[in-house]
Amino acid sequence: MSGPRCPQCAQPCVSPRLLPCLHSLCEPCLRRLGPPEGPPGAARPVLCPVCDAEVSLPAGGVGQLPPDCLAGSRAGAAAGCDLCADGAAAGRCLTCGVRLCRFCCRAHRRQKKTASHAVTELESTKDCSQAGKPLLCPSHPTEELRLFCEQCDQPVCRDCVLGRHRQHPCDFTGNVIHRHGDALRGLLRSSQQHMDTLEDVLSQVDEMGSAVRSRAEAVAAEICQFAGGYVKAIEEHRDRLLKQLEDMKVQKENLLHLQKAQLQQLLLDMRTGVEFTEHLLMSGSDVEILVTKGVVSSRLTKLNSIAYSTHPSVDDRIQFSPHERAGQCCGYEVFGAILNKVVDPARCTLHGEDLHSARQNQLSGFTLLCKDTMGERMGQGGEAVRVTITHKDKRDCALKPTVCDNGDGTYCISYSPEEPGLYAVCVCVKGQHVQGSPFTLMVRHKFREHQGVFHCCTFCSSGGQKAAHCACGGTMPGGYQGCGHGHKGHPGCHHWSCCGQVKESSECLCGPPSDTSQRSLVRTVAL
């Protein structure tokens, strides 16, 4: 029964080893990959002949790659009998460690020399894998790998534990397989979720390709219908428009094809990693799982960290405007142009006096100016504009701004803050921040409480001097005389705060001119 074959040389695998991309090659082919050996102790980059991924061979050479313990079972090769080599393995002698077919199992039990040996039957694929010859330590070829070094993260034998792993925490593989297997299963579930997402995105890409083609055909029909009214000039103008449309369609399709190819490759890599990991966890023995755990974890982690867009890279925005002036064609002024201006959020700008400051309970606002990828103003509206204004200290305090589309590429954003303080403002177009977003907005009190000790007669007793100071240190603006120093036609004394506001009374609140007592006042004044 033929064993697994190397995908590079198509010959039966000789000492197959795993690359970081989880593809298996025989050791002779691995030694022939890539450039000649580099400096001693340096990793060597090579291209995997299966997936064309660039991988690095360990500094120690091909021999440092983990062996592919499950190459035979992945290729569908059943384990054979170690005694007769004619039948498939149906059992294993726990004393001798050999695989036995059903006939040899019965013979093994009948022979006097081996009658006392314990023979167990193999019931599953995983049992068949475990029925293989024990994995021996590369440093001590006579010792079986039965222990696992936590510090070095690798299976070891008894002699290794007594040697260079003496001070390292070690345990039997059967005791640690559950924890490491669970970690691999967690990575496997994450990869499976990415596969589902990638398949959905690829479906969306295909649908968008159809939408682009359908839209292009519809626009082409509009162009042909519009051009029928003119003779030579319009026909030439029509051909020019169709060429422009074709170029635009090809450009969009090329971008979609590129995205599709990248997503398909990522999905293929994900599927390879998932299938390999699933097979490893289902069919691999404890030691086999631990031997390949490192490279599998590294590969799945790397694949899971690759960023990809969950939406098609282009949209089907292709519009034809029959009333747009298109210049001269064969001496005739023609109309009709394809509108392909796309808003660029990074070039959109914000304007207005209330952009960074506002006042409590007062209507404020600013203007958003949308521009295309060339930095030119969009002459039309209809963009998806989203504005959020959230209090930085009170997370449950958020404003509900109003966005008004002016239809000329500008949008008026208005709001009325109820709480003073510092706000975070985010302005997004098509889900992306515009230039300068996010930014901070300071909302000030409409009124503030002024607390101070005022000498009631400070202004009056100063004879109306503008340089008079309040007890709090503020200058008293004005120039009136009052109280016993002579009211000049005013109904009462003007009491000024250092904030410049006046409080009038029909009666003088100062008392006689000789009354220079200080009175504590708490007044709320407008800023």
The model's pLDDT over 128-139, given as tens digits with 9 standing for 90+, comes to 444 445 777 878
Interatomic CA distance for residues 65 and 57, integer angstroms = 7
Please report, rounded to a whole number, the percentage of residues in the chain having pLDDT higher than 70: 75
Out of 67-76, 343-352, 479-488, give the one with best mean pLDDT.
Answer: 343-352
Give the residue from 377, 397, 399, 379 showing the smallest Cα distance to 387: 399
Which residue did the predictor score with more confidence, 440 or 234? 440
Sequence-ordered alpha helix ranges (H) in 228-336: 232-283, 286-304
State whether residue 338 is helix, strand or coil. strand
Average pLDDT over residues 64-77: 61
Q: How confident is the model at residue 166 (pLDDT cuts 50, 70, 90)?
A: confident
Six token digits for residue 289: 């799982």
Q: Classify residue 483 by its DSSP letter.
A: G
74 backbone φψ class: left, alpha, beta (φ>0; ψ -120 to 50)? alpha
- pLDDT score, position 459: 53
State whether residue 10 is helix, strand or coil. coil
Six token digits for residue 496: 């000024």
Residues in Cβ contact with 262 at an 8 Å cutoff, skipping those fewer than 6 apart: 308
Residues in Cβ contact with 50 at an 8 Å cutoff, skipping those fewer than 6 apart: 7, 21, 23
Q: How confident is the model at residue 261 (pLDDT cuts 50, 70, 90)?
A: very high
Residue 175 has pLDDT above 80, yes or no: yes
400-405: long-range pairs with CB below 8 Å, 24+ = 405/381
Phi, psi of 330 (to 5 degrees): 55, 35
Q: How confident is the model at residue 412 (pLDDT cuts 50, 70, 90)?
A: very high
- pLDDT score, position 460: 59
Which residue type occupies 491? P
Q: Across all residues in the chain, what is the average pLDDT? A: 77
Other Cβ atoms less than 10 A from the Cβ of 487: the count is: 16
Q: What is the pTM of this model?
A: 0.37
State whether residue 334 is helix, strand or coil. strand
CA distances to 400, 486, 509 from 464, rounded to whole Å, are 49, 10, 16
Torsion over CA of 464, 468, 470 and 472, rounded to 10 degrees?
A: 170
Angle at alpha carbon of residue 76, lines to 70 and 77, rounded to 5°: 80
Which residue did the predictor score with more confidence, 353 or 42? 353
Give the residue from 249, 375, 259 showing the smallest Cα distance to 318: 249
In the chain, how long is the greatest CA-to-CA distance? 138
* Residue 338, beta-bridge partner list: 320
Residues in Cβ contact with 201 at an 8 Å cutoff, skipping those fewer than 6 apart: 263, 308, 309, 310, 311, 312
For the stretch 383-409, pLDDT in tens is 889 999 998 888 788 888 999 999 888
Out of 3-7, 329-333, 500-504, give the one with best mean pLDDT.
Answer: 329-333
Out of 14-18, 211-215, 306-310, 509-513, give the one with best mean pLDDT.
Answer: 211-215
Interatomic CA distance for residues 353 and 357, integer angstroms = 8
Please report, rounded to a whole number, the percentage of residues in the chain having pLDDT higher than 90: 22
Residue 208 has pLDDT above 90, yes or no: yes
Interatomic CA distance for residues 403 and 371, integer angstroms = 17
- pLDDT score, position 447: 59
Interatomic CA distance for residues 407 and 378, integer angstroms = 10
CA distances to 322, 323, 426 from 235, rounded to whole Å, are 14, 17, 48
Interatomic CA distance for residues 282 and 140, integer angstroms = 29
